[in-house]
Structures are given as C-alpha cells and as structure tokens.
Amino acid sequence: MELFVFGLFVMGYLAITFEHALKVDKLIPALFMMVLSWAFISLNLESVGAWFEPIGGKMDDFGKLLFHEKQHVLQETLLHHFGKTAEILIFLLGAMAMVELIDHFQGFSSIKKMITTKSKLKLLWIVAFLSFFLSAIIDNLTTTIVLITLLRKLISDKPSRMWYAAIVIIAANAGGAWTPIGDVTTTMLWMANKVSTVKLIQFVLLPSLISVLLPLIVASFLPAFKGDLNKEVEQTRTGREGKIMLFIGLGLIVFVPIFKSITHLPPYIGMMLSLSILAILAESFHRKAASAQDLPTTGQGPTVRALSKIETSSILFFLGILMTVAALESIGLIFDFGQTVNQSISQNLFVTLLGVGSAVIDNVPLVAASMSMFQEASDHVVWHFIAYAAGTGGSILIIGSAAGVVAMGMEKIPFFWYLMNVAWLALLGYLAGALVFLF
C-alpha cells in the first residue's frame, strides 16, 4: 500500500512539474493526488500496521485496533490536518484580498514615482531592492506581478525586460524567505511554530541579502545592463486614497505577526482583523467617491471585487499538496525517509540539497515533508536553514517558484533562455547565502 501511495505522489508531481508541456493546470493533479491517496488508505485500512498521529506520534499498536477504531483514528487525523491546512489557506486568502484592495485604488502605482532614472544599471539595483523588501512585506508572488507590470511601463524592449524580470524573480524569492509573510513556505513554518518572527529575521536576513547582492554585482558587468533606457520613464499619478490604502494596507499586514505575539492566537485571526479594517476603509472611500459623483452605491463594492480576483486555483493547489503530504506522513513514509536521511548525510547537506531540489519540485511539499522529517524544537537552526533554502533555491530554475512561473507567463520567458543565462547567477547567490548562513 505504501508503494502505491508513494507512486501516486511521484506521478502527480511529474504532472505538476510538466504542467506547461501537458497543458493541464497543476491544481488538477494536486487534487487527484490528495483524493486518491486518502481514499486508498481508507479502503486498505485493515492492512495498515503503523500510524502517525499529528500530536501523539507513532502508534505502534495501530494494527491491533478494530476496524471501526482505525476508522475513528483516520477521521481524527484527517480533521486535524485539514484544520491546520485551512489555517494556512485562510491566511493566504486574507493576504491576497488585502493586496487586491490596495491595487483596486491603484495604490501600487505610487511606487513608480521612486523610479526616475534612465540608467539601466541604476534601474537594475532599484528594481532588485524594491523586489527584495516589498516581497518581505506582501509576498514574492504579488511582488513579481507588481514589478513586472511596472517594468512594462518603463522598458519597451522585451529582450531587455526579460533580464530585469529574471532579477525580480531572484530578489523576490530571497526577500520572501526572511519574513513569515513573504513566502508560503515561511508562512507554513511560522504557523507550525517552527520559527518565530524575530529569529527568522535574525538568522535569514543576511544570507538572503547575500543571495541577491552577489548576482547583482555580477550582473552589473553584463552587457544587458549597460547604457540608458530608450523609453522615457512614464510617470503615473496616484490619488490620495491610493496612497492611504498602500501605506495602511502594508502596515496592517506587518501588524499580523505583532497581533500573534500579543494574543497568542493563530495568524489567520490577525490577518482577518487586518482585512476587515482595510475593507472598512475601502468601502468608505468607495461611498465617498460615489457620493461626490452623485452615483448610486448599490452593486459590488471594492471588497467583493477584490475577493473575486483572488486566484482560487492557487488556493486549491496548496490544499491538494499539503493534504497529500499529510497522507504520506500519516502512514509513516516521511518519518522513515527522514530517519534514513539523518543516518546517511548531515542535516546541513540535506537542507542544501533540498534547496536545489526546490528548483525542480515545488517548495511547498518539500517544506511540508521536511516538517515531518525533523523533530527539533522551535527556532532550531535547521528550521531557519530550511526557510532560506526552500525560499531562495527555487530561483535556480524559472519553474522552481511561483514567482518564476508567473514571470514566465507574463513575459513569455523561455525555459532554456533562463537556464542558460540566469540559472548560474541564481545558483551562485544561493550557494553564497548558504555558506554565510552556515558560517
């Protein structure tokens, strides 16, 4: 049975990895994996000899239980894993909705005023640092979308724009690795109490910064970033409401970890509080604008519109992935693999390879699996190294991160162009940051 479930996992991940070649959205194999894994376990429950409870650990006497007792344990385990997964998904829904609310009032357009240079080299550093720090506040996926949209206003030459988009991928992934709200994987580790906000920043900020600085220094000598821009920098005007929504929205997102530390409630509670406050402000601006133009306020408000723009496919993809990993964990496959790894190679080498592997396999399941492999206490160095490796390692290939996939779709960046021109820069930065982290 274990081999069959593992085979489902492998086949599903091959389908996810080659989604562009198969022309099948990755959420479909993810959901199939989840359903088939749990269904097969349930149908073959009598043959299961060992079981891993989410809290109690390994149940050596599981095989001695009656069938209805095994079913009860399975239901309790499934409910626990779904609850933990739902916490992450609700948190992401809230964050995405807040970003959409800010964008509804064109709040991100005010960032364009920061970019006034015509120099390609200066623009390279400005875009990289904007991407690095903005992704730490919102997330790497949203940051990539925002900055590529800005680059389209600044650079008309597509080949040149592809280079900048590639740097955005590297910087956004690195920036998302050192805060609990910058990347899905760091959010997972944070919500599972594997890392704390202060320690995550303390341990991962410098390595993440190095993983961006080294590629930037090398890229500064490349021909693609020599000379000046051919197109005038386009200035856009942002209304007062947009600026207010931008700064208050970003402040409310940053407030979420503070709320958690004060109340000790799960992070999604704080995110819902921040979303509700921003939604009240958005509806107030909407009604004020409608009243000034003597328009009716009936119909969809900005909050409903923002929620309708959220990528539900991404949420369902995370659901499928996390619940499939939970199935592997429950029957002991991940624990057994972790024991084998710990006996074969060092933790540092394993986590370093995990980061490289995240360039091929999505980093969400890799982190979910690693959380079951290691039993170290909260804020142990291995959790922070996993946060760094999974976050920055995905930049090595363009399909290795959500930011890369989005940039690939928006700018139609060829896989092999990125592999030949950018992968070595990302790998150089990743290894340099890993060495800084270790030493």
Q: In this predicted structure, what is the pLDDT of residue 377?
A: 87
Per this entry, what is the length of the chain?
439
List the Cα angle 11/14/20 in 5-degree steps. 135
Q: What is the three-class DSSP state of 298?
A: coil
State the DSSP code for 220: T
Domain count, the chain: 1
List the Cα angle 204/209/214 in 5-degree steps. 135
Rg of the Cα atoms in the chain: 23
Q: Are strands 57-59 and 51-53 parallel, antiparallel or unpaired?
A: antiparallel
Specify whether the CB–CB gap between 262 and 200 falls below 8 A: no
Domain range spanning residue 292? 2-50+58-438
The tally of CA atoms less than 13 A away on the side-chain side of residue 250 is 19
**Single-letter amino acid code for the residue at 344:** S
Q: Which phi and psi angles does 289 have, rounded to 5°?
A: -65, -40
SS3 content of the chain, % helix, strand, coil (to 5): 75, 0, 20
Nearest Cα residue to 213 out of 123, 128, 114: 128
CA distances from 317 to 32, 72, 364, 365 (A): 10, 27, 10, 11
Specify whether the CB–CB gap between 393 and 400 falls below 8 A: yes
Q: Using CA atoms, how far apart are residues 437 and 178, in angstroms rounded to an integer?
A: 12
The token duo for 150 is: 């800005």
**Single-letter amino acid code for the residue at 85:** T
Q: In this predicted structure, what is the pLDDT of residue 233?
A: 45
Question: How does pLDDT run along the chain (439 residues), one tens digit per residue?
Answer: 778 888 888 888 788 777 777 788 878 988 999 999 999 999 988 887 778 776 656 777 788 888 888 888 899 889 988 988 888 888 878 888 888 898 888 887 777 776 778 888 999 999 999 999 988 887 787 788 788 878 887 887 888 899 999 999 999 999 999 998 888 888 888 888 899 889 999 999 999 999 999 999 999 999 989 888 775 544 555 678 888 998 898 888 888 888 887 898 888 899 899 999 999 999 999 888 877 776 665 567 888 988 888 878 878 887 888 888 888 878 877 777 767 776 788 888 988 988 888 887 667 767 877 787 787 888 899 999 999 998 899 899 887 777 887 787 778 788 788 989 999 999 999 999 999 999 8
Q: Using CA atoms, how far apart are residues 302 and 103, in angstroms rounded to an integer?
A: 10
pLDDT tens-digit map of 253-275: 888 888 887 898 888 899 899 99
Specify whether the CB–CB gap between 140 and 390 falls below 8 A: no
Q: What is the three-class DSSP state of 59?
A: strand
Q: Using CA atoms, how far apart are residues 222 and 121, in angstroms rounded to an integer?
A: 10
